[in-house]
């Protein structure tokens, strides 16, 4: 199975992120967006879930996959490569950095926060940038 998990890594916001202060993704009428689901899971449960857990939960929610099929669907989902949090709307559009700890569990930090700045300079972490929205 493939994975999107990172370990001891900090994903900084994209160079072309349009905000200078992190924003809560706006709620749209009807179903929650990918950004809403990711934000709520991570913000309410820092360092509880891995990237794989969150990305599969979003997929299962959007596709209305129920309990008895979850494990089989998770295997199928990760049998091919999936985009990681470098392509998340949280890191590309809404100004949130993603920190993965030594167990691969993640938390988010607002781009303007002191914790984001500290993690950005932490030499014990691998540093990645979120993917740009536009090609150069």
The DSSP element (H or E) to which 94 belongs, if any, is: none
Q: Of 108, 122, 99, 112, whose CA–CA distance to 41 is shortest?
A: 108
Looking at residues 94-123, what average pLDDT do you find?
A: 98
Residue 98: band (very low, low, confident or very high) from pLDDT cuts 50, 70, 90 = very high
Which residues lie across from 108 on neighbouring strands? 98
Band (13; pLDDT cuts 50, 70, 90) = very high
1-5, 25-29, 71-75, 93-97 — most confident range: 93-97
pLDDT of residue 136: 62
Q: Quick: pLDDT tens for 59-82.
A: 999 998 888 888 899 999 999 888
Predicted TM-score of the model (pTM):
0.91
């Amino acid at each position: 199975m493939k994975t999107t998990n990172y370990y001891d890594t900090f994903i900084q916001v994209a160079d072309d992120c349009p905000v200078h202060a992190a924003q809560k993704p706006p709620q749209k009428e009807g179903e929650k967006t990918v950004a809403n689901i990711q934000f709520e899971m991570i913000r309410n449960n820092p360092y509880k879930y891995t990237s794989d857990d969150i990305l599969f939960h979003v997929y299962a929610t959007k596709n209305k996959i129920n309990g008895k099929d979850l494990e089989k669907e998770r295997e199928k989902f990760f049998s091919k490569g999936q985009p990681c949090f470098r392509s998340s709307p949280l890191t590309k559009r809404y100004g949130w950095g993603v920190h993965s700890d030594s167990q691969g569990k993640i938390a988010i930090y607002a781009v303007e926060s002191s914790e984001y700045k500290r993690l950005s300079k932490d030499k014990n972490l691998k540093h990645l940038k979120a993917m740009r929205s536009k090609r150069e």
